[in-house]
Structure formats: C-alpha cells, structure tokens
Chain A
Amino acid sequence: MKKHTIVALVQDRPGVLSRVVGLVRRRGYNIESLAVGHSETPNVSRITMVVEWNDVDQVVKQLYRLIEVLKVSDVTNDPTVEREMVLVKLHAPAPKRHEIVSMCNVFDAKIVDVGVNTMVVEMTGTPAKVENFIEIVKPYGVKEMMRTGRVAMVRGARGHNAAEYAESSNGTNGQFAVNRN
C-alpha cells in the first residue's frame, strides 16, 4: 500500500468532515494525517488528508458522490509544497536551555513559552524535517507534543481555486449553506 496525499475542496456545512472521514473508515483505513480549514473562498474549506491505501482512484470517485465535495485531487505525484507544524513542550531545566535554544536555531524553530522547568517550541517544516526535529529534541524529554497534520499545495499555476468550484456559494438565500459556527 502506498501513502497518498489527497486535497479536497468541500462546502463548509455541518457534518461534511464526518462524511469524508466516514468514507475512509468504511474501508478500514487509518488516516495518518488530516488538516482542515477555510480556503480563500467563503464557505469553502480545504482538506488535506494522508492515508495509506491501494485503490485510491475508487476512493476519489466515491468522495465525489458526497454532495458537499467540490473537488478532489490526489496530489501524491504532483510537485507540491507540504508543511506541518508541531508544538513541543520540552523538559527544560535552566542548565539545558542554552543547548535547546541553539538546537532550535538550527531548525528555524521558535521558543513560544518558557516555564520554570519547561519550554514550548514551535517548529514548521516539511513533514520529514518535523520528524527529524522531534527525534533530535526527544532526548531532552518531551512532556507534550501536538502536530497539526500535513497541509499541501500544488506548486505553480496548477491547483484548484476554490471560487471556480463554488460559483453559487453566494447570491442565494442559502440559509443552510451559510456557515453558522
């Protein structure tokens, strides 16, 4: 089985994430990473999902069956920019801090909180670089860690502008279509 990165544009309605995830769950696959957020167009969200599966074309087709799915692309073999962010809370007593700070400089990571015995570090990079960073800081003692999951965007002029797929998102009464958080 191969790891695939799927990028999907979806209407921002209650339950849409659940439907997308349900399609993957139905086949007994595990989602390795999932990131969801607003796109450049109001009421349209962009999902980046990484899953190991072998019949990805069929899954993409079935995703299209979902009423709220506007566009799905398997970008695994496309040139993409992929990023992930991690927050790590490290065990950082005073004598270790200097060493941690210089390590962070190497990885372009930021110290975002300092406590009595802890430091919270924010690091953004390719998934591989994030992985590498985590390995490096592990010996200091990781008290907590939170990864955002991968976000991906196709390089250059290619890719999918959300507005093209959501032409009627505005201009209707659209009570139900309006995002009501």
Chain B
Amino acid sequence: MTQERTGAQIMCEALIREGVEVMFGIPGGAIMPFYFAMWEYRDQLRHVLCRHEQGAGHAAEGYARATGKLGVCIGTSGPGTTNLVTPIADAMMDSTPLLAITGQVSSLVLGKDAFQETDITGITMPITKHNYLVKDINDLPYVFKEAIHIATTGRPGPVLIDITKDAMQARTVPNWDVKLNLPGYKPTYNPNAKQIREAIKLIQSAKKPLIMSGNGVIMAGAIEELAAFAERLRVPVITTLHGIGSFPEDHPLNIGMPGMHGWVHVNRAIQECDVLFNIGGRFDDRVTGKASTFAPNAQVIHVDIDPSEIGKNVKVAVPIVGDAKLTLQAFLEAMPGREDMAELHGNASDWMEHIREMQAKHQGKQQYVSRADTEAMSLPPHDVYDIMNRMINERGDYRICTDVGQHQMWAAQLLDWYRPRTHITSGGAGTMGFAVPAALGVAVACPNETVWAVCGDGGFQMTNQEMATIVQEGITNVKVAVINNGYLGMVRQWQELFENKRYSGTPLTGPDFAKLAEAYGWKGITVEHTEDVEAAMREAYETDGPVLIDFRVEREVNVFPMVPQGKSIGDMITDASQA
C-alpha cells in the first residue's frame, strides 16, 4: 500500500476500488499514460475499444441502464472529449450514472491552445452533474471517490474528470484515506412523514385517482413496492416512456403510456383524473403536452428525489422529496386498513371501468393503422413489431435498445413490456444513433440475454461503426432490427401532417444494410414482406453471432395516436385527416 504509483495507476486502482469492471473508450495522445497503466490491470478492468467516442459514451450508458451500475467511458483531449459531449448530455437528461474520463494536455501548456486542447470542463459544465479538472496527482484518489459518489447517488447523472497528462505521469505514494467533503450535496432519501399522511388523505378522498410511474421507480429498484402500492389502492397505473417496465403491462391495473404518442384513453384519464400521483417522473413536455392544460382537474402528488423537479412544469399539491423505494415503503407502512379504503376501492373500480370503456373504443394496438391501407402494403411496420413482440416474449431474456423517432414510439407502443431495464432508449435528449452502441454496452452487461437494437435507417447510419466493436469483442448476443423506410421518418410525419408534405431534407438513402452487415462479419438479412418476418427473426435467434435484419417497411406510415406539438393531451389525433 505504500508503494509509489503513477497518476494513471492511481486512476486504475481508484476505479477498481469503486467496483468498476468495464470501460468503453478510445486512446489518444493526452490519455496515453492511462492506457499504458490499464494494461497492468486488464484482468480486473476490461477495456472495450469503440470506433467513435460517441459510441463509447452510449455503450457506457447502455451498460449503466441495463445494470443500474456506473458506466465508464474514456476519451482523449480535444476531439476525443468533444465526441463524448452528446452521450454526456444524453446521460444528464435521462439521469444515467456515467463517468467520463478524459485526458487533458499537460498543465504546463494548459490554456495555450496546445495540440488537441479543448476546455472540456467548460464545455460540459451545464450537461454534467459535476465535473473536475485535475492537475495535481495528489487529488486523484479524492476526486475519483467523490465523482463516482456524485454520479451514482441521489438523482444519478454524468460526471466528467479531466486529467492533465502530467498528473497521470507524475508519481506519488497514494493516500487512499480520503473522506468525502460534500456539505452542499446531501440527497434526501427518506420522505417526510407528514407529507406521506397528507398524500394518503388526498388519495383516499379521490374519485378518479391515477398513478404515474417514471424512471425513478426503476432506478430506485422499487418495482415490487410499486406493485404492492397500486394493488393496495387498486388505482390504475400509467408508465411513462422511461417508466416502461416499472409495472408489467399485463397487470390488470396497468393502462399504458401517456404523452405525445401515448394512448388516447390514458391521456383522457389524465385529463379527467382528480388525483395524480407521479412517482419518479419529471412531467416532461412530451408527457404533459401544453402544460397549462395538463390534468386540469387533478391535485398532483409528486414524488421525486430531485427537489428542483417538483413544481417545475406542473403545479403540485403535495410535494414529496425522496427515493422512490423508501417513499413507497413509507406509504405502505402508513396505509390505512382495508375497511378505511373501501370507499376509495369502490371509486377506483368505477373509474377503472370507465377507463377500460374508453380504451375499448380504440381496442387493439394495431387499430391505429387503417387495415384497408395496410392490405396494400407489402410490409407495414406494425407487422414487424407484432411478430417481434410474439417472438421475443416466447424466447424471454431480452433487452431492447431503441433509437429515436418513429420506430422508437412504435416499439414503446406495440411491444409488451414486463420487466424493468428491458426497455432502454434515449428519452430526454432524443439522441439518434443511441441504439447500436447502447446495445453493445447492454450486451457486455448481459451476456446471457438477447439484446435487440431497434433503430431507423437514419439513426442507424449515425453510429453503425460500433458493429466492428461488437465483432472485435466477440459479442454474439446483439441483433439489430433496422426499421428502414428511407426517410427521417418522424420529421417526415410532421412535414406530412403540419407542413403540407414539404419533405425538406427527410428522404434518405443508405447502403444495402444486409451487405454492410456482412462486410462487418455479421449475418445480414433483408426482409421486404410480412410473411418473411418470422423466418428472419428465427434465423437471427438461431445464429450464434451478431445479426442485422433490414426491414424495408412501407415508407410513409405515421405514428398514431399523436398530440400535435403545443396542444393539450386531450386533443389527440388518430389519423392524418385530423391534423
């Protein structure tokens, strides 16, 4: 323990001490000392060499979201770090515990426009939970401990540590006896008991109560608690895009997803409800639509670990700051007996009946594509999801990474979700190019599960070079489904509906994706007809190696239902004629 170490060795040992096992990155001049040291620790610290730092960042995010553990990505100074900016921003928006380690030019030339010098701490200040510039080797043990603590506690988020090359090369006997000094950072985990009682009183008085479950429930591991809570109250549950999987979709109390592409009956239920209990969601504008018209009759109870989220977008009657799991446990403990809930149970049951009646009017997930239209189509996208849904659930043990756009909304709508951390997507930032590298990270984290990357042809072409990483790492459990419609489809949809079909900048060509996959050493399959979908997916499952399926779907199909931007979620449109 008293041996002298280089700064780079200290970095490796600090990561190992904090339980880090995998890192995704690309070396370069300023980070070379770290890569030099990493070699000695390669049995404990696996390094996955990516093809682009953005890919490394998303892979680390995928790893983090699949496991709940810290994701680590590495880039060198200058362009290496600026390429990490997108995944860092993505992790900030979706509260993902991410540590970005970046090399910086030597402190002797810092600020002098040295080769590959970029002020990355300045650039990432607004998109990190916290960041550090380390110039002194003696700061390394403390900074790594603090950074990882900050990234993984409270509301998780990205933290960046930028280390000058000379600090990595310097030598010292590390002092690991460091205590965190964070008087300004004390996340509140335990909810206020009085607020819990207030909230229970409000729920008990409700005639049309609704539970909204978000990402916070998954991050806190509060799945069982949420189920117990909902069952005790017998109140309907909606799951936001990131809350998907926090409450199984086959549960009789689950009514589906709200928001811009949520279900009509869910959005109507929000508009009608009198008490809305939101746990671990942040009332994103894609959920609320025009915020001033959102849930006009509801008294809102908002549980969030981040006090700055409460009251930000929606007026809140009972604010509760706390961890989702601990808060739900507190609710379960404080819950009155069954006799005192009889009235609520009666009301909730009538209310549920009403919601199911609304739902019945729009029964079936497929009904938003007119059957008459699809009969003329050789491959409507909905058919891909329909068959995929059946096949992934028959086989079990899957994770799905989706990209951003139409295919993402279809996946959220049309697949049935049962388990937490199976639906991994870029929500807040809406980062195209997320799915393939995220799937790489998920596959590293979950080697015994099948990891599907579902993406559009636009997003796929942004980061598909990570297919080479997947081959080099010997990863066999990644399967890519490209929902290929030859457009930047979601933008095209808006152009069709709101801009008089002026398809400006949206028609998109690409290579033959199956051939591209073959060139990478993958199996590539092209599907053009509904009747071939099942066979292609079966082949993908039976192939011991990465497989890409290019689903050449009908080009101009829209995602419905939809809330037009800036409109109330009560004003959904269900086909193009209503736009």
Contact = CB atoms under 8 A, between A and B. Distances in A.
Interface in B170-206: 175, 177-185
A15 B179 CA distance: 21
Contacts of A168: 179, 181-183
Contacts of B178: 172-173, 175
Nearest to A14: B133
Contacts of A26: 126
Nearest to B185: A67
B510 interface: no
B302 to A, nearest CB: 13
Contacts of A15: 121, 125, 131, 133
Contacts of A64: 307-308
B122 interface: yes
A123 interface: no
Interface residues of B, number: 31
A128 interface: no
Interface of B: 121-122, 125-126, 129-133, 136, 138-139, 142-143, 146, 150, 175, 177-185, 306-308, 311-312
B175 A173 contact: yes
B185 A176 contact: no
B177 A173 contact: yes
Contacts of B306: 65
Contacts of A22: 125-126
A176 B142 contact: yes
Contact of B143 (A19, A57, A169, A176): A176
Range for the number of chain A residues in contact with chain B = 20 to 34
A14 B135 CA distance: 12
A99 interface: no
A166 B183 contact: yes
Contact of B184 (A58, A61, A68): A68
Nearest to B150: A67
A11 B184 contact: yes
A62 interface: yes
Contacts of B125: 15, 18-19, 22
A175 B140 CA distance: 9
Interface in A17-35: 18-19, 22-23, 26
A84 B531 CA distance: 78
Interface string A112-136: 0000000000000000000000000
A26 to B, nearest CB: 6
